[in-house]
Structure 1
Amino acid sequence: MIAASALSRLLKPVAPLLPTMSISDVADRLLTPEHKAFLSLPVVDAAERPVGLVSRSKLQDIFMQRFGRDLRGRHPIHEVMNPAPLVVSLDTSLDNAAKQITGQLQYPITEDFILVDAAGRYRGIGTVLDLLKAMEARIAQRNAVLRKALVDLKESQTQLVQSEKMASLGQMVAGVAHELNTPLGYVKNNVELLRELSAPLFLLAETQATLADCLNDPACSETDLAQALEQAASAREQAAPELLVEDLSQLFSDTLYGLGQIAELVVGLKDFARLDRAMSEEVDLNDCIRSALVIARNSIKDKAEVVSQLGELPRIACAPSQINQVLLNLLTNAAQAIDGFGQIQLKTWADEAAVFVSVQDNGRGMPPEVLARIFDPFFTTKPVGQGTGLGLSISFKIIQDHGGLIRVASEPGRGTRFLLRLPRAQAAELKWSA
């Protein structure tokens, strides 16, 4: 059957553990080359039915502790076993298996999932990464079918707008993902440092507790008391808590700063997409510019300095997600037009009839023959595969549907300036693009 064969391709016939094994036996097996790709190993009973999973993460937590292997290595594996692992039947469809696993998955991912036959007997291990790759291939196949269907249809304005939106979305998500990596990286490093710095403090607390127990125990001998005092003094010297105050304070501050950057990106992404807002609403275009700058930051930061002169603007009725799409397109185009490191100037102002946005760069500029065609669909000066030629064409249509105007001035070697004009009083009917 198709569903069974799809999951069978993910099956890894890993030899299971037995409940009689010790924690050290399991650790030694996980360290072997044939098991290095797995996050966990299954435990089965005499009837070959899975009874749990032992994760590499759990064992590391034990053996990274002081004397962890000596203290717990001989203990039975049920002490570290997850008795309720993810179990998937081989006759489950790939889609249903993905729903089942992602529905029960906990983060961070520290375990694999067990595959069983129709009778519930253990047959092997499946990894979440392999499942994601299989689902990615399935999605790729479905996308290929959808792309073929789009090619068979006549190109229409709605399809062109949607195509460019998808290109903008991919660019936006890639940029945000890249921007998230930096704060996530040093937050992770800081947490690891905090764990290292706190370990001597835990040891100090433990030795002081032992000393306190000895002092309160009339039966505690002078030898035991002397030993407890010596251990507490040694732990106190190693921990040096008075020296940690400044380090810990700085680590906490840096970590909170990193989390603040992540929160800023998430809020910026939400504001940019306006997923929780109505299609049309009254907004301040300065807010749209700030959201677009957050999303475009990865594309701009190594190319140009952004100089903003944002004037006080009245709120106007528009489709914010579409205006954000236009701004993102203009900002990324400006960055791509700069050789080396340059400058992008943003300026906003208003008069009695309209609000204005100016986006100006000091990049390569455009000759007259290129300038005359930049709003034509499919026209692009970028190499094949790096541009659709739809961005400015769709931006022009979006501004036009808002009753506004988009103008451009450019000179080779001096840069380019785009000017957006949006009326304060919108037309009675706006043709929102799909």
Structure 2
Amino acid sequence: MTTSALHELLRQAAPLAADMSISDVADRLLTAEQRAFLSLPVVDAQRRPLGLVSRYTLQDIFMQRFGRDLWGRRPVRDVMNATPLLVSIDWSLEQAAQQVTAQLKYPITEDFILVDGEGAYLGLGTVLDLLKAMEARIDQRNRVLRKALVDLKESQAQLVQSEKMASLGQMVAGVAHELNTPLGYVRNNIELIREQLLPLLQLAETQGQLVDCLNDPGAGQARLGEALALAEQALGEAPLEQLLGDLDQLFGDTAYGLGQIGELVGGLKDFARLDRAKSEEVDLNECVKSALLIARNSIKDKAEIVRQLGELPRVACAPSQINQVLLNLFTNAAQAMERFGHIHVKTWADEAAVFISVQDNGKGMPADVMARIFDPFFTTKPPGQGTGLGLSISYKIIQDHGGSIRVASEPGRGTRFLIRLPRVQASELKRSA
């Protein structure tokens, strides 16, 4: 803060000499120039403050019987407050407020004296003006803080969106890889079906030509014999029983491949759907299955999934957000594997809450890393391979659902995350993104 703030509070009030009579001081206080002050300063010859005399003190004196006669001619030094509130003009507004409030007595009967760097009298300041200035300063800071909060929330939203886009890229890559296998043999089956259908089409064509000859009265024996020979040849090249068996198998395999594609597309749709409402009743086992389907490509070469999914009640949640949390935990577990391992996913419920446990037998974490695992931007991954926001966002999502997420880990043995979500939400869910 600059000293100009206290300069704006400075009010000029002519100081009193210590030997000025009390009656003269009382008359001075009644003038229009002094109406704004609760007190007047008393200074020495070097303009150093000696004290303050207040209206309250003089009023108390003159209210006494014969008070003016007894005290009127006495010097003001006899009734002044010799320990007035002194504030340096060089202080900040906050320092002045701290000094005044620390020494202020109630009811407020005096002003405070403003002095220069050498302690000489400059003028008076009123407590009301100081409080108004502090209120204005606080309002200004509140405006700055509110703007900073808005900027922070915008930055947080951008970071959350960035993390979501990174997760989306990971999902798209995994799903694309998973789609390639069924797409590949569906494509191959279609080529085989086309090859298998060619003899049947040839047979249909030659039989059609034979029928035309039989229906044509002008067809000679030679033409009829040629059409019959071609039909018999086509029939020999198209063994119907074998072809029908092969086609039935090809159609079955194709239908299975299309079913796998449909399952992946449906899982992706369920995983990434926009919530139609802030919350809906969901079976969290479905969220687990959906997230495991999307994460399958990231997990399959690193760990075996062991599922132990109990019967769960439907709970109110934002399913796409829960899916995001689970995908993060599953992919982190896979990345923690130094050799092929196991990821144990377990769900259960009690009377108050639903629980999801994700446990791996990967490399684990030391205590100092585990203590910071939910901190924003904290990551143990190499630069460019992680934002450090995944677990932080997951923590916020679960917290906004009224739940908790805890972690236990031991180097060399693995890590376990435990999610707890209440069966009944205490209040309306907040959106974390």
TM-score bracket for the superposition, by shorter chain length: 0.5 to 0.7
* Secondary structure, counterpart of 1:340 in structure 2: coil
Question: Which residue of the partner structure matches residue 23 of structure 1?
Answer: none
Asked whether the 8 Å contact 2:354–2:422 carries over to 1, the reply is: yes
Q: Identity over the aligned pairs, expressed in percent?
A: 77
Q: Which residue of 2 aligns with 1:260?
A: 259
3-state SS in 2 of match to 1:419: strand
State the 1:427 CA deviation: 2.3
Secondary structure of residue in 1 paired with 2:159: helix
Q: Give the structure 2 partner of residue 230 of structure 1.
A: 229
1:30 corresponding residue in structure 2: none
Contact 2:193/2:250 (8 A) holds in 1 = yes
Query: Any stretches of 5+ residues in structure 1 without a counterpart?
Result: 1-151
Question: CA deviation digits over 1:285-336, x for unaligned, max 9?
Answer: 1111111111111111222111111111111111111111000000111111
The AA in structure 1 aligned to 2:406 is R
Shift of 1:283: 0.8
Aligned mates of 1:158, 1:384 — CA distance in 2: 22
Amino acid at match of 1:391: G
Q: CA deviation at 1:259?
A: 0.6
Q: Aligned residue for 1:353?
A: 352
Q: Determine if the alignment matches structure 1 residue 432 to structure 2 residue 431.
A: yes
SS in 2 for 1:156: helix
Over residues 373-401 of structure 1, what are the superposed CA-to-partner deviations in whole Å (9 max), with x where a residue is unaligned? 11111111111111111101110111111
Report the Cα distance in structure 1 between the residues aligned to 2:154 and 2:280, rounded to whole angstroms.
30
Q: Say which SS state the counterpart of residue 362 (structure 2) adopts.
A: coil
* 1:83-98 paired onto structure 2 within 5 Å: none
**Amino acid in structure 2 at the alignment position of 1:185:** G
How far off is 1:154 after superposition?
A: 8.5
The AA in structure 2 aligned to 1:235 is: A
Amino acid at match of 2:383: V
Counterpart residue number, 1:422: 421
Instruction: Report the TM-score when normalising by structure 1.
Output: 0.63
Alpha-carbon distance change, 153 to 429 in structure 1, aligned in 2, over 3 angstroms: closer
Q: Deviations over 1:117-149 (max 9, x none)?
A: xxxxxxxxxxxxxxxxxxxxxxxxxxxxxxxxx
1:213 Cα deviation from its structure 2 partner: 1.6
| Pairing 1:18-417 to 2, within 5 Å after superposition | 156-275=155-274, 277-417=276-416
2:302 and 2:343 map into 1 onto residues whose CA distance is 9
For residue 431 of structure 2, give the secondary structure of its aligned residue in structure 1. coil
Q: For residues 148-179 of structure 1, give each alpha carbon's deviation from its aligned partner in whole angstroms, at most 9, with x where no partner exists.
A: xxxx9897332322221111111112211221
Runs of 4 or more, structure 1, over 4 Å off, are: 152-155
- For 2:207, the aligned partner's letter is Q
Give the Cα separation in 2 of the matches to 1:400 and 1:358: 16
1:368 CA drift (Å)? 1.7
1:264-292 CA distance string (max 9 Å, x none): 11111111122363231111111111111
Q: For residue 260 of structure 2, give the secondary structure of its aligned residue in structure 1.
A: helix
User: Aligned with 2:316: secondary structure?
Assistant: strand
Partner SS for 1:247: helix
Matched-pair contact (CA < 8 Å) for 1:269–1:291: yes
One-letter code aligned to 2:341: G
8 A contact 2:279–2:316 mirrored in 1: yes
CA contact (8 A) 2:282 2:315 kept: yes
Taking a change above 3 Å as real, the CA distance of residues 381 and 415 of structure 1, as seen in their structure-2 partners, is same
Helix, strand or coil for the counterpart of 2:344?
Answer: strand
Residues 364 and 414, structure 2, Cα contact 8 Å, conserved in 1: yes
Deviations 1:184-217 (A, max 9, x none): 1111111111111101110110001111221222
Q: Which amino acid aligns with 2:407?
A: V
Count of residue pairs the alignment pairs up: 283
Counterpart residue type for residue 392 of structure 2: S
- Do the aligned partners of residues 153 and 374 (structure 1) sit closer, same or farther apart at CA in structure 2, a change above 3 Å counting? closer
Distance 1:414 1:234 in 2: 71
CA RMSD, aligned part only?
Answer: 1.7
Change (3 A) 1:185 1:276: farther
Alpha-carbon contact 1:279-1:320 (below 8 Å) kept: no
What CA distance in whole angstroms lies between the structure 2 residues aligned with 1:210 and 1:354? 75
